Amino acid sequence: MKIYNTLTKKKEEFVPIEPGKVRMYVCGPTVYNLIHIGNARPMIVFDTVRRYMEHKGYRVNYVSNFTDVDDKIIKKAAEEGVDASVISERYIAECKKDMASLNVRPATTHPLATQEIDGMEEMIRTLIEKGHAYVAKDGTVYFRVNSFAEYGKLSHKNLDELEGGKRSLLVSGMDQKEDPLDFVLWKPKKEGEPFWESPWCDGRPGWHIECSVMSKRYLGEEIDIHAGGEDLIFPHHENEIAQSEAANGKPFAHYWMHNAFLNIDNRKMSKSAGNFFTVRDILEKYDPMVLRFFMLSAHYRSPLNFSAELMEAAKNGLERIRTAVSNLQFLLANAKEGPVEEAEQGLLCQAGEYVKKFDEAMDDDFNTADALSAVFELVKFINTNTGDGHTRAFLQALLEELTSLTDICGLTVETKEQLLDAEVEELIAQRQAARKAKDFARADEIRSRLLEMGIVLEDTREGVKWKRA
């Protein structure tokens, strides 16, 4: 299995620190609002990476934080006149609902920054003791960037270039830092803000120290994979490396993975630019699996432009897979018993080639676009090779093969419990016929059955209207 490593700018064979185990950290969202579909991209992508690794037999310890103390959370809390924790708890709960809709599995651990302050203090103290950090007059603690020789190694930036852009701050005396590149580890409280006591001042941590500390606490000092969107490469991940490696004296993460942006009109979707759709907005119009399929239809390192056309294409693609699944289920209901026949064995071998193709695509830096193409080839193969007269064992094997691939992608495709529009219309017609025949018991039974399947009926003067609950 090869992974593109931002640190080396190369695809590298994945070798875990401990055989059979993966320690993986994914930077999570700052929770002050509903997540948008740009935030959903890393969630879906790295959930799929995790699923594939588990499919290959690895035990994955998957940690993803929530940043629950931050300027934007505090601002929102002030606007609503509530405590910052009210805002963060609300949006963590909402984010978890969106993740569940998108079939993004909960992490092994979802640490919260506010619960890890002790660990942050300890790491900051170590950094000060080792000369990698210093306390300014007002109690702010800064990381001393020029004490860490490898600073810039992840973003492949040259220190002189970085310095140039920031020098004006020092010249103007607006900054109390030794060097314009130094960044905050701990900052003093402002009036009305949440704070914690510390040896330096009452205050709160900087953003970067959170992830260094939570990663260390739940995964250890040295981890396999650290991931997030590509906007995090600099400064967030660069700073995490400086903090962790300077404090622990060990390499931090072996592989750094970054997803490209989800764009809209070819510009990064972001809250600050205002050009976003929340996951909720999209789920009003589409099945969540359509959104997941759309995200996986591109390689995670390629920019992906959101559009109604691409969502339609995703919807059709998903429908094709679901149709193949429901056809197989239909055939299975009437299939003959007995072992797989010889001719069927040959067909299963051929089907196995598509599974191999899927694995090859995923082994090549999780190329989900090519992996989905292999799924379509398997679907086409199934559609052309499952006419009447097959054994249950054969059909079952094909169904399992197909759904094992869609499971790795986190796409639920079993249609058994879902009524199609046409099936709903048919049941409504039967209910109308029962009423006409004054068979009200039967009419009620159909109404209850529809309700169980999430279909709500409304009798209006224009006739029966229905909607999905």
Structure tokens at 450: 């529809």
Least distance in angstroms from the C-beta of 67 to Zn ion: 8
Least distance in angstroms from the C-beta of 239 to ligand AMP: 14
* Residue 6, contacted partner among ligand AMP, Zn ion, none, CB below 5-8 A by kind: none
If the CB atoms of residues 67 and 103 are measured against Zn ion, the closer one turns out to be 67
* Residue 203, contacted partner among ligand AMP, Zn ion, none, CB below 5-8 A by kind: none
How many Cβ atoms are within 10 Å of 374's Cβ, its own excluded? 21
If the CB atoms of residues 27 and 298 are measured against Zn ion, the closer one turns out to be 27
How many Cβ atoms are within 10 Å of 180's Cβ, its own excluded? 18
If the CB atoms of residues 239 and 406 are measured against ligand AMP, the closer one turns out to be 239
Out of 49, 87, 269, 450, the residue judged to bind ligand AMP by CB under 6 A: 269
Kindly report the length of the chain: 469
Stretch that binds ligand AMP, among 193-201, 210-218, 254-262, 321-329 (CB under 6 A): 254-262
CA pseudo-torsion sign 314, 317, 319, 325: negative
Should residue 29 be labelled a site residue for ligand AMP when binding is judged by CB under 6 A? yes
Q: Residue 225: which of 23, 441, 427 has the closest Cα?
A: 23
If the CB atoms of residues 88 and 406 are measured against ligand AMP, the closer one turns out to be 88
Stretch that binds ligand AMP, among 26-34, 153-161, 356-364, 375-383 (CB under 6 A): 26-34
Phi, psi of 143 (to 5 degrees): -80, 135
Out of 253, 262, 321, 361, the residue judged to bind ligand AMP by CB under 6 A: 262
Positions touching Zn ion (CB under 5 A) are 27, 211
* Spatial distance between the Cα atoms of 349 and 345, rounded to a whole number of angstroms: 6
In the complex, residue closest to ligand AMP by CB? 229
Least distance in angstroms from the C-beta of 344 to ligand AMP: 44
The residues near 428 (Cβ < 8 Å, ≥ 6 apart) are: 446, 450, 457, 464, 466
Structure tokens at 412: 């639920």
E strand or H helix at 167, and its extent? Answer: helix 159-171
* Residue 107, contacted partner among ligand AMP, Zn ion, none, CB below 5-8 A by kind: none
If the CB atoms of residues 112 and 211 are measured against Zn ion, the closer one turns out to be 211
Binding to ligand AMP, residues 37-66 (CB under 6 A): 38-39, 41-42
Stretch that binds ligand AMP, among 86-94, 261-269, 339-347, 416-424 (CB under 6 A): 261-269
CA angle 16, 151, 140 (to 5 degrees): 110
E strand or H helix at 267, and its extent? Answer: strand 267-268
Should residue 256 be labelled a site residue for ligand AMP when binding is judged by CB under 6 A? no
* Spatial distance between the Cα atoms of 255 and 223, rounded to a whole number of angstroms: 9
449 CA to centre of own chain: 35
CA angle 300, 155, 134 (to 5 degrees): 130
Question: Furthest-apart CA pair in the chain: how many Å?
Answer: 90
Site string for ligand AMP, 197-236 (x = CB under 6 A): -------------------------------xx-xx----
Should residue 180 be labelled a site residue for ligand AMP when binding is judged by CB under 6 A? no
Surface-to-core class of residue 333, CB atoms within 10 Å of its CB (0-12 exposed, 13-18 middle, 19+ buried): exposed
* Spatial distance between the Cα atoms of 81 and 249, rounded to a whole number of angstroms: 44
Residue ranges that bind ligand AMP, judged by CB under 6 A? 27, 29-30, 38-39, 41-42, 228-229, 231-232, 259, 261-262, 268-270
